[in-house]
Structure 1
Amino acid sequence: MSKRQQNKEERLNRIIEQAEILFLQDGFERVQMQDIADAAELGVATLFRYFPKKDQLIVAAAVRNLTPTLDTFKQLTTAPGDSYTRLEAILDYLLEQQLKQTSHSRFREAFESYASFVTSPLPDIDDYIDLQCEIMKTLEPLIEDGKTDGSLRSDIDVKATVVTIINAFGTFGNNIILKSHISYLEDDIEPAIQQRVLREMLLSYVRP
Protein backbone atom coordinates (compact mmCIF):
# COMPACT_ATOMS: atom_id res chain seq x y z
CA MET A 1 0.00 0.00 0.00
CA SER A 2 1.37 3.43 -0.94
CA LYS A 3 1.90 6.11 1.71
CA ARG A 4 -0.92 8.14 0.19
CA GLN A 5 -3.33 5.20 0.35
CA GLN A 6 -2.24 4.44 3.91
CA ASN A 7 -2.95 8.02 4.96
CA LYS A 8 -6.35 7.82 3.32
CA GLU A 9 -7.20 4.61 5.17
CA GLU A 10 -6.07 6.07 8.48
CA ARG A 11 -8.17 9.19 7.87
CA LEU A 12 -11.21 7.07 7.03
CA ASN A 13 -10.81 4.98 10.18
CA ARG A 14 -10.43 8.13 12.29
CA ILE A 15 -13.60 9.61 10.81
CA ILE A 16 -15.65 6.48 11.51
CA GLU A 17 -14.19 6.03 14.99
CA GLN A 18 -14.96 9.61 16.02
CA ALA A 19 -18.40 9.47 14.42
CA GLU A 20 -19.32 6.36 16.42
CA ILE A 21 -18.27 8.06 19.66
CA LEU A 22 -20.30 11.17 18.92
CA PHE A 23 -23.36 9.30 17.68
CA LEU A 24 -23.45 7.25 20.86
CA GLN A 25 -22.80 10.25 23.07
CA ASP A 26 -25.22 12.74 21.54
CA GLY A 27 -27.57 10.77 19.30
CA PHE A 28 -27.71 10.35 15.54
CA GLU A 29 -30.03 13.29 14.94
CA ARG A 30 -28.14 15.84 17.02
CA VAL A 31 -24.64 15.22 15.70
CA GLN A 32 -23.71 17.41 12.76
CA MET A 33 -21.09 16.70 10.12
CA GLN A 34 -19.12 19.69 11.37
CA ASP A 35 -18.97 18.07 14.82
CA ILE A 36 -17.48 14.93 13.31
CA ALA A 37 -15.02 16.87 11.18
CA ASP A 38 -13.83 18.77 14.26
CA ALA A 39 -13.44 15.57 16.28
CA ALA A 40 -11.50 13.91 13.46
CA GLU A 41 -9.39 17.06 12.98
CA LEU A 42 -10.46 17.48 9.36
CA GLY A 43 -12.07 20.14 7.26
CA VAL A 44 -15.77 19.52 6.76
CA ALA A 45 -15.26 19.59 2.97
CA THR A 46 -12.83 16.68 3.32
CA LEU A 47 -15.36 14.80 5.40
CA PHE A 48 -18.04 15.25 2.74
CA ARG A 49 -15.68 13.81 0.13
CA TYR A 50 -15.63 10.59 2.14
CA PHE A 51 -19.29 10.65 3.13
CA PRO A 52 -21.60 12.93 1.13
CA LYS A 53 -24.47 12.16 3.55
CA LYS A 54 -24.48 11.70 7.30
CA ASP A 55 -26.58 8.55 7.01
CA GLN A 56 -23.81 6.95 4.94
CA LEU A 57 -21.41 7.61 7.80
CA ILE A 58 -23.91 6.22 10.31
CA VAL A 59 -24.08 2.95 8.36
CA ALA A 60 -20.29 2.83 7.96
CA ALA A 61 -19.94 3.17 11.73
CA ALA A 62 -22.46 0.37 12.23
CA VAL A 63 -20.56 -1.92 9.85
CA ARG A 64 -17.29 -1.20 11.64
CA ASN A 65 -19.02 -1.88 14.96
CA LEU A 66 -20.38 -5.27 13.87
CA THR A 67 -17.27 -6.59 12.13
CA PRO A 68 -15.57 -7.96 15.30
CA THR A 69 -18.64 -10.15 15.88
CA LEU A 70 -18.07 -11.78 12.50
CA ASP A 71 -14.44 -12.52 13.36
CA THR A 72 -15.38 -14.02 16.74
CA PHE A 73 -18.18 -16.16 15.31
CA LYS A 74 -15.78 -17.56 12.70
CA GLN A 75 -13.48 -18.71 15.50
CA LEU A 76 -16.20 -20.12 17.74
CA THR A 77 -18.13 -22.01 15.09
CA THR A 78 -15.03 -23.81 13.80
CA ALA A 79 -13.43 -24.47 17.19
CA PRO A 80 -12.84 -28.04 18.40
CA GLY A 81 -15.78 -29.72 20.09
CA ASP A 82 -19.26 -30.85 19.25
CA SER A 83 -22.10 -28.60 18.11
CA TYR A 84 -23.58 -28.18 21.57
CA THR A 85 -20.24 -27.05 22.99
CA ARG A 86 -19.80 -24.49 20.22
CA LEU A 87 -23.36 -23.19 20.61
CA GLU A 88 -22.74 -22.83 24.33
CA ALA A 89 -19.54 -20.88 23.60
CA ILE A 90 -21.45 -18.48 21.34
CA LEU A 91 -24.05 -17.79 24.02
CA ASP A 92 -21.29 -17.30 26.58
CA TYR A 93 -19.59 -14.79 24.27
CA LEU A 94 -22.84 -12.87 23.77
CA LEU A 95 -23.51 -12.91 27.51
CA GLU A 96 -20.04 -11.62 28.27
CA GLN A 97 -20.45 -8.76 25.81
CA GLN A 98 -23.87 -7.88 27.21
CA LEU A 99 -22.73 -7.89 30.83
CA LYS A 100 -19.83 -5.59 29.98
CA GLN A 101 -22.39 -3.09 28.63
CA THR A 102 -19.79 -2.02 26.11
CA SER A 103 -20.16 1.02 23.92
CA HIS A 104 -20.18 -1.39 20.96
CA SER A 105 -23.35 -3.13 22.09
CA ARG A 106 -25.03 0.14 23.05
CA PHE A 107 -24.20 1.66 19.68
CA ARG A 108 -25.54 -1.39 17.81
CA GLU A 109 -28.83 -1.28 19.70
CA ALA A 110 -29.15 2.47 19.05
CA PHE A 111 -28.34 2.06 15.36
CA GLU A 112 -30.83 -0.71 14.74
CA SER A 113 -33.53 1.29 16.51
CA TYR A 114 -32.67 4.36 14.41
CA ALA A 115 -32.60 2.37 11.15
CA SER A 116 -35.97 0.78 11.86
CA PHE A 117 -37.72 4.14 12.26
CA VAL A 118 -36.38 6.09 9.26
CA THR A 119 -38.96 6.68 6.53
CA SER A 120 -36.78 5.27 3.76
CA PRO A 121 -33.90 2.75 3.83
CA LEU A 122 -30.57 4.20 4.86
CA PRO A 123 -28.00 4.56 2.07
CA ASP A 124 -25.59 1.60 2.02
CA ILE A 125 -27.76 -0.31 4.52
CA ASP A 126 -27.18 -3.39 2.34
CA ASP A 127 -23.58 -3.39 3.60
CA TYR A 128 -24.85 -3.89 7.15
CA ILE A 129 -27.39 -6.50 6.09
CA ASP A 130 -24.75 -8.39 4.10
CA LEU A 131 -22.50 -8.44 7.15
CA GLN A 132 -25.32 -9.87 9.25
CA CYS A 133 -25.80 -12.56 6.60
CA GLU A 134 -22.08 -13.38 6.75
CA ILE A 135 -22.34 -13.83 10.51
CA MET A 136 -25.25 -16.23 10.06
CA LYS A 137 -23.28 -18.16 7.41
CA THR A 138 -20.52 -18.81 9.93
CA LEU A 139 -23.01 -21.02 11.76
CA GLU A 140 -23.10 -23.54 8.90
CA PRO A 141 -20.35 -25.87 10.27
CA LEU A 142 -22.03 -25.94 13.67
CA ILE A 143 -25.45 -26.61 12.11
CA GLU A 144 -24.23 -29.38 9.82
CA ASP A 145 -22.35 -31.11 12.62
CA GLY A 146 -25.38 -30.76 14.85
CA LYS A 147 -27.37 -32.92 12.48
CA THR A 148 -25.01 -35.86 12.86
CA ASP A 149 -22.77 -35.64 15.94
CA GLY A 150 -25.48 -36.51 18.45
CA SER A 151 -24.89 -33.48 20.67
CA LEU A 152 -28.23 -31.87 19.71
CA ARG A 153 -31.73 -33.31 19.70
CA SER A 154 -32.48 -35.31 16.56
CA ASP A 155 -36.17 -34.33 16.44
CA ILE A 156 -35.65 -30.61 15.83
CA ASP A 157 -34.88 -28.46 12.79
CA VAL A 158 -31.28 -27.74 13.74
CA LYS A 159 -30.80 -24.70 11.52
CA ALA A 160 -34.03 -22.97 12.54
CA THR A 161 -33.42 -23.77 16.20
CA VAL A 162 -29.79 -22.61 16.34
CA VAL A 163 -30.49 -19.35 14.50
CA THR A 164 -33.54 -18.65 16.66
CA ILE A 165 -31.62 -19.32 19.87
CA ILE A 166 -28.79 -16.97 18.94
CA ASN A 167 -31.11 -14.20 17.74
CA ALA A 168 -33.42 -14.52 20.74
CA PHE A 169 -30.60 -14.54 23.27
CA GLY A 170 -28.79 -11.63 21.63
CA THR A 171 -31.92 -9.49 21.32
CA PHE A 172 -33.20 -10.20 24.83
CA GLY A 173 -29.82 -9.60 26.45
CA ASN A 174 -29.16 -6.30 24.74
CA ASN A 175 -32.68 -5.11 25.42
CA ILE A 176 -32.78 -5.91 29.13
CA ILE A 177 -29.29 -4.64 29.86
CA LEU A 178 -29.62 -1.36 27.97
CA LYS A 179 -33.05 -0.59 29.40
CA SER A 180 -32.33 -1.67 32.96
CA HIS A 181 -32.02 1.94 34.15
CA ILE A 182 -35.63 2.66 33.18
CA SER A 183 -37.13 -0.68 34.16
CA TYR A 184 -38.25 -1.85 37.58
CA LEU A 185 -36.48 -5.05 38.57
CA GLU A 186 -36.30 -6.77 41.94
CA ASP A 187 -32.82 -7.59 43.18
CA ASP A 188 -33.35 -11.31 42.71
CA ILE A 189 -34.30 -10.95 39.03
CA GLU A 190 -31.72 -8.44 37.89
CA PRO A 191 -30.73 -8.57 34.18
CA ALA A 192 -27.68 -10.83 34.64
CA ILE A 193 -29.78 -13.43 36.44
CA GLN A 194 -32.48 -13.36 33.78
CA GLN A 195 -29.89 -13.72 31.04
CA ARG A 196 -28.36 -16.77 32.70
CA VAL A 197 -31.79 -18.30 33.21
CA LEU A 198 -32.62 -17.78 29.53
CA ARG A 199 -29.25 -19.22 28.51
CA GLU A 200 -29.96 -22.42 30.45
CA MET A 201 -33.51 -22.63 29.09
CA LEU A 202 -32.32 -22.36 25.50
CA LEU A 203 -29.48 -24.84 25.93
CA SER A 204 -31.65 -27.33 27.75
CA TYR A 205 -34.10 -27.28 24.83
CA VAL A 206 -31.48 -28.61 22.39
CA ARG A 207 -29.84 -31.16 24.66
CA PRO A 208 -30.73 -34.79 23.75
Structure 2
Amino acid sequence: MSGGMREKKKNARYKSIVKTAEQLFLENGLDAVQMQDVADADGIGIATLFRYFPKKERLIVAVAVSCLEKIVEDFQRIVTANSSAYDRLEQVLDYLMGHPTEKEEVWKSARFREAFESYASFAKKSLDGIEEYIETQKVIALILMKIIEDGKVDGSIRKDIPVKEAIITIVNAYGTFGNNISLKSAISYLEEDIAIHIQQRMLKEILLSYLRP
Protein backbone atom coordinates (compact mmCIF):
# COMPACT_ATOMS: atom_id res chain seq x y z
CA MET A 1 0.00 0.00 0.00
CA SER A 2 1.38 3.41 -0.98
CA GLY A 3 2.06 6.13 1.59
CA GLY A 4 -0.85 8.18 0.26
CA MET A 5 -3.28 5.31 0.58
CA ARG A 6 -2.10 4.53 4.12
CA GLU A 7 -2.58 8.15 5.14
CA LYS A 8 -6.05 8.23 3.59
CA LYS A 9 -7.00 5.03 5.41
CA LYS A 10 -5.60 6.42 8.66
CA ASN A 11 -7.61 9.64 8.31
CA ALA A 12 -10.77 7.69 7.55
CA ARG A 13 -10.29 5.55 10.65
CA TYR A 14 -9.63 8.66 12.78
CA LYS A 15 -12.85 10.29 11.58
CA SER A 16 -14.80 7.08 12.14
CA ILE A 17 -13.57 6.80 15.72
CA VAL A 18 -14.43 10.44 16.45
CA LYS A 19 -17.93 10.07 14.97
CA THR A 20 -18.56 6.87 16.91
CA ALA A 21 -17.32 8.45 20.14
CA GLU A 22 -19.53 11.50 19.63
CA GLN A 23 -22.61 9.29 19.26
CA LEU A 24 -21.76 7.33 22.39
CA PHE A 25 -21.00 10.46 24.42
CA LEU A 26 -24.33 11.99 23.40
CA GLU A 27 -26.26 8.84 24.24
CA ASN A 28 -24.56 7.96 27.52
CA GLY A 29 -22.59 10.98 28.79
CA LEU A 30 -18.85 11.63 28.89
CA ASP A 31 -18.16 9.82 32.15
CA ALA A 32 -20.13 6.67 31.40
CA VAL A 33 -18.45 5.85 28.08
CA GLN A 34 -15.27 3.78 28.34
CA MET A 35 -12.60 3.40 25.68
CA GLN A 36 -13.56 -0.25 25.25
CA ASP A 37 -17.11 0.89 24.44
CA VAL A 38 -15.79 3.09 21.64
CA ALA A 39 -13.58 0.32 20.26
CA ASP A 40 -16.44 -2.17 20.26
CA ALA A 41 -18.88 0.26 18.62
CA ASP A 42 -16.37 1.17 15.92
CA GLY A 43 -15.45 -2.45 15.27
CA ILE A 44 -11.76 -2.13 16.13
CA GLY A 45 -9.46 -3.55 18.78
CA ILE A 46 -8.70 -1.56 21.91
CA ALA A 47 -5.01 -1.48 20.95
CA THR A 48 -5.88 0.19 17.65
CA LEU A 49 -7.99 2.79 19.45
CA PHE A 50 -5.15 3.64 21.83
CA ARG A 51 -2.78 4.11 18.88
CA TYR A 52 -5.01 6.95 17.73
CA PHE A 53 -5.98 8.24 21.16
CA PRO A 54 -3.63 7.24 24.02
CA LYS A 55 -6.16 8.39 26.62
CA LYS A 56 -9.85 9.13 26.84
CA GLU A 57 -9.56 12.88 27.38
CA ARG A 58 -7.69 13.23 24.09
CA LEU A 59 -10.61 11.53 22.34
CA ILE A 60 -13.08 13.82 24.09
CA VAL A 61 -11.16 16.89 22.90
CA ALA A 62 -11.01 15.49 19.36
CA VAL A 63 -14.79 15.16 19.32
CA ALA A 64 -15.13 18.73 20.62
CA VAL A 65 -12.82 20.05 17.90
CA SER A 66 -14.80 18.14 15.27
CA CYS A 67 -18.00 19.83 16.49
CA LEU A 68 -16.40 23.26 16.21
CA GLU A 69 -15.07 22.52 12.73
CA LYS A 70 -18.65 21.96 11.57
CA ILE A 71 -19.45 25.47 12.79
CA VAL A 72 -16.45 26.89 10.93
CA GLU A 73 -17.74 25.49 7.64
CA ASP A 74 -21.27 26.77 8.15
CA PHE A 75 -20.17 30.20 9.40
CA GLN A 76 -17.93 30.64 6.36
CA ARG A 77 -20.93 29.98 4.13
CA ILE A 78 -23.09 32.47 6.05
CA VAL A 79 -20.48 35.21 6.26
CA THR A 80 -19.72 35.14 2.53
CA ALA A 81 -23.41 35.37 1.56
CA ASN A 82 -24.52 38.32 -0.58
CA SER A 83 -26.57 40.17 2.05
CA SER A 84 -26.14 42.94 4.60
CA ALA A 85 -23.96 42.42 7.66
CA TYR A 86 -27.04 42.70 9.87
CA ASP A 87 -28.87 39.98 7.90
CA ARG A 88 -25.83 37.71 8.08
CA LEU A 89 -25.57 38.16 11.81
CA GLU A 90 -29.23 37.21 12.13
CA GLN A 91 -28.47 34.06 10.12
CA VAL A 92 -25.64 33.25 12.54
CA LEU A 93 -28.04 33.50 15.48
CA ASP A 94 -30.60 31.39 13.66
CA TYR A 95 -27.90 28.79 13.09
CA LEU A 96 -26.94 28.81 16.77
CA MET A 97 -30.59 28.26 17.68
CA GLY A 98 -30.29 24.76 16.21
CA HIS A 99 -33.83 23.51 16.91
CA PRO A 100 -33.70 19.71 17.34
CA THR A 101 -36.48 18.99 14.86
CA GLU A 102 -35.06 21.22 12.15
CA LYS A 103 -31.29 21.05 12.58
CA GLU A 104 -30.65 17.83 14.42
CA GLU A 105 -26.91 17.66 13.77
CA VAL A 106 -26.40 21.27 14.87
CA TRP A 107 -28.43 20.62 18.01
CA LYS A 108 -26.50 17.46 18.83
CA SER A 109 -23.20 19.29 18.40
CA ALA A 110 -24.45 22.06 20.69
CA ARG A 111 -25.37 19.47 23.31
CA PHE A 112 -21.92 17.95 23.16
CA ARG A 113 -20.14 21.33 23.32
CA GLU A 114 -22.13 22.25 26.41
CA ALA A 115 -21.19 18.95 28.07
CA PHE A 116 -17.57 19.27 26.97
CA GLU A 117 -17.09 22.81 28.26
CA SER A 118 -18.56 21.78 31.60
CA TYR A 119 -16.23 18.77 31.66
CA ALA A 120 -13.19 20.91 30.79
CA SER A 121 -14.05 23.54 33.40
CA PHE A 122 -14.01 20.93 36.17
CA ALA A 123 -10.79 19.26 35.02
CA LYS A 124 -8.00 19.53 37.58
CA LYS A 125 -5.50 20.43 34.86
CA SER A 126 -5.61 21.57 31.25
CA LEU A 127 -6.92 18.82 28.98
CA ASP A 128 -4.48 17.17 26.62
CA GLY A 129 -5.01 18.73 23.18
CA ILE A 130 -7.19 21.61 24.42
CA GLU A 131 -4.99 24.03 22.47
CA GLU A 132 -6.51 22.75 19.22
CA TYR A 133 -9.99 23.49 20.54
CA ILE A 134 -8.96 27.02 21.51
CA GLU A 135 -7.36 27.63 18.11
CA THR A 136 -10.55 26.51 16.35
CA GLN A 137 -12.53 28.95 18.50
CA LYS A 138 -10.16 31.70 17.32
CA VAL A 139 -10.86 30.77 13.70
CA ILE A 140 -14.59 31.20 14.35
CA ALA A 141 -13.96 34.62 15.91
CA LEU A 142 -11.92 35.70 12.86
CA ILE A 143 -14.72 34.63 10.54
CA LEU A 144 -17.19 36.76 12.51
CA MET A 145 -14.87 39.75 12.18
CA LYS A 146 -15.91 39.79 8.51
CA ILE A 147 -19.42 40.72 9.59
CA ILE A 148 -18.07 43.52 11.77
CA GLU A 149 -16.02 45.07 8.98
CA ASP A 150 -18.85 44.78 6.48
CA GLY A 151 -21.30 46.32 8.93
CA LYS A 152 -19.11 49.41 9.18
CA VAL A 153 -19.19 49.78 5.42
CA ASP A 154 -22.82 48.99 4.54
CA GLY A 155 -24.26 50.90 7.52
CA SER A 156 -26.50 48.03 8.62
CA ILE A 157 -24.97 48.06 12.11
CA ARG A 158 -24.68 51.04 14.47
CA LYS A 159 -21.38 52.88 14.40
CA ASP A 160 -21.74 54.58 17.80
CA ILE A 161 -21.03 51.37 19.76
CA PRO A 162 -17.96 49.16 20.13
CA VAL A 163 -19.08 46.86 17.32
CA LYS A 164 -16.49 44.12 17.85
CA GLU A 165 -17.26 43.77 21.55
CA ALA A 166 -21.00 43.96 20.91
CA ILE A 167 -21.12 41.23 18.26
CA ILE A 168 -18.82 38.83 20.09
CA THR A 169 -20.84 39.33 23.28
CA ILE A 170 -24.12 38.78 21.45
CA VAL A 171 -22.93 35.61 19.72
CA ASN A 172 -21.49 34.18 22.95
CA ALA A 173 -24.57 35.07 25.00
CA TYR A 174 -27.00 33.73 22.44
CA GLY A 175 -24.99 30.56 21.86
CA THR A 176 -24.78 29.81 25.58
CA PHE A 177 -28.48 30.50 26.08
CA GLY A 178 -29.39 28.37 23.08
CA ASN A 179 -27.32 25.44 24.33
CA ASN A 180 -28.78 25.61 27.82
CA ILE A 181 -32.38 25.99 26.73
CA SER A 182 -32.07 23.16 24.19
CA LEU A 183 -30.61 20.85 26.82
CA LYS A 184 -33.68 21.47 28.95
CA SER A 185 -36.06 20.50 26.15
CA ALA A 186 -36.41 16.97 27.53
CA ILE A 187 -37.49 18.27 30.95
CA SER A 188 -41.21 18.56 31.58
CA TYR A 189 -42.33 22.19 31.78
CA LEU A 190 -45.31 23.51 33.66
CA GLU A 191 -48.28 24.57 31.57
CA GLU A 192 -47.57 28.24 32.17
CA ASP A 193 -43.96 28.04 30.99
CA ILE A 194 -43.05 29.76 27.72
CA ALA A 195 -42.08 27.50 24.82
CA ILE A 196 -38.35 27.27 24.14
CA HIS A 197 -38.51 28.53 20.55
CA ILE A 198 -40.45 31.61 21.69
CA GLN A 199 -37.79 32.45 24.29
CA GLN A 200 -35.08 32.03 21.67
CA ARG A 201 -36.86 34.26 19.17
CA MET A 202 -37.47 36.97 21.77
CA LEU A 203 -33.84 36.96 22.92
CA LYS A 204 -32.66 37.19 19.32
CA GLU A 205 -34.86 40.23 18.73
CA ILE A 206 -33.65 41.91 21.93
CA LEU A 207 -29.99 41.39 21.02
CA LEU A 208 -30.31 42.44 17.39
CA SER A 209 -32.31 45.56 18.26
CA TYR A 210 -29.23 46.89 20.06
CA LEU A 211 -27.28 46.82 16.79
CA ARG A 212 -29.79 48.50 14.52
CA PRO A 213 -28.80 52.02 13.35
> In the alignment, residue 175 of structure 2 is paired with which amino acid?
G
Taking structure 1 as reference, are residues 74 and 185 closer, same or farther at Cα in structure 2, changes over 3 Å only? farther
> In the alignment, residue 4 of structure 1 is paired with which amino acid?
R
- TM-score normalised over the length of structure 2: 0.91
2:63 to 51, 61, 67: 61
| Residue of structure 1 equivalent to 2:140 | 135
The 4+ residue runs of structure 1 with deviation greater than 6 A are: none
1:15 alignment partner, SS class:
helix
Residues of 2 paired with 1:159 and 1:168: CA distance? 14
Please say if residues 95 and 195 of structure 1, whose CA atoms lie closer than 8 Å, have aligned partners that are also in contact: yes
Please say if residues 98 and 173 of structure 1, whose CA atoms lie closer than 8 Å, have aligned partners that are also in contact: no
- Count of equivalent residues: 208
| Residue of structure 2 equivalent to 1:24 | 26
> In the alignment, residue 137 of structure 1 is paired with which amino acid?
L
Residues of 1 paired with 2:138 and 2:190: CA distance? 35
1:206 alignment partner, SS class:
coil
Taking structure 1 as reference, are residues 186 and 157 closer, same or farther at Cα in structure 2, changes over 3 Å only? farther
| Residue of structure 1 equivalent to 2:80 | 78
| Residue of structure 1 equivalent to 2:130 | 125
1:105-124 Cα distance to aligned partner (Å, 9 max, x none): 21111111111111111100
Deviation at 1:140, TM superposition (A): 1.7
| Structure 1 stretches lacking a partner, 5+ long | none
Residues of 1 paired with 2:14 and 2:182: CA distance? 31
Q: Percent identity?
A: 54
2:9 to 1, 7, 17: 7
| Structure 2 stretches lacking a partner, 5+ long | none
Query: Please, what is the CA RMSD of the aligned residues?
Result: 1.8
> In the alignment, residue 90 of structure 2 is paired with which amino acid?
E
Aligned residue runs from structure 1 range 1-208, under 5 A: 2-97=4-99, 100=103, 102-182=107-187, 184=189, 186-187=191-192, 189-208=194-213
- TM-score normalised over the length of structure 1: 0.93
